[in-house]
Amino acid sequence: METTGMMVWVLNGIFILLGVYVVWTTIARLLRYKKEAKHFEQGHSDLEVLRMDKGPSSGMFALGVLVLYLTFMGFSDGYEAAYLLIYVCVGILFFALGIDYTMRYRVLFGADSFFFEGQCIRFRMIKKITYQDGLFKKGMLQLSKGEEITCPYKIAKAIEDKLGVWKKQRKHK
């Protein structure tokens, strides 16, 4: 019985460290994202914001609230109390995923570039956009530097549309 109790506390420690690491990196990414997005906004007067983050991030926040609610509603003293930390960390991880989805499903478009996942990409840098089917459809942006950026399918379609508009405007100049 002592081995099981020790194993639970080792798992608690692992989950706490994982939770702290994920929350720390997510907050650092969010702060960096906001700083760079503000810089992008200042440089583009004709800014258009595409937000597709409401569904995925709301779902993650709802799961986080549900896990925390069920954890504290079913909480009892004794041996089950050792599992409380694990469930709290899982709930916090859902909140971190919600913040991550907020950054991943938002694009800022300017006249000749766009801001996605913390980086500014010019339309002229895009060589090709490909799509991959499967359970979770995704788009692949192939850039001129040989870099490849994976993005959600709907975001890739929106980027492709804006790229077409940009190419037409460039032809008419």
Specify whether 55 is located in the same domain as 95.
Answer: yes
pLDDT tens-digit series, residues 95-136: 999 999 888 889 999 888 999 988 899 999 999 999 998 888
Specify whether 75 is located in the same domain as 96.
Answer: yes
Range of the domain at 163: 111-173
Position 114 scores a pLDDT of 93
b/e sequence 28-47, b meaning 16+ C-beta within 10 Å: ebbeebeebbeebeeebeee
Domain end position, chosen among 56, 79, 106: 106
Position 35 scores a pLDDT of 93
Specify whether 40 is located in the same domain as 85.
Answer: yes
In 52-111, the DSSP E strands lie at: 106-109
Of 128, 126, 129, 130, the C-alpha closest to 112 is 126
Position 148 scores a pLDDT of 92
Q: Which residues of the chain have pLDDT under 50?
A: 1
Domain end position, chosen among 80, 106, 132: 106
Domain count, the chain: 2
> Which residues are bridge partners to 140 per DSSP?
130, 150
Specify whether 37 is located in the same domain as 94.
Answer: yes
CATH number of the domain that residue 153 is part of: 2.40.50
Tell me 135's DSSP state: S
Joined together, the tokens standing for residue 125 give 């840098």
Distance, CA of 4 to CA of 9 (rounded, Å): 9
Domain end position, chosen among 78, 106, 134: 106
Specify whether 83 is located in the same domain as 163.
Answer: no
Specify whether 168 is located in the same domain as 146.
Answer: yes
Specify whether 25 is located in the same domain as 98.
Answer: yes
Position 1 scores a pLDDT of 47
**Nearest 10 degrees: Cα torsion 131, 144, 41, 137:** 10
Phi/psi for 70 (5° steps) reads -65, -35
Rounded to two decimals, the pTM is 0.79
Specify whether 97 is located in the same domain as 134.
Answer: no
* Residue in the block written with tokens 């916090």: 92
Specify whether 120 is located in the same domain as 100.
Answer: no
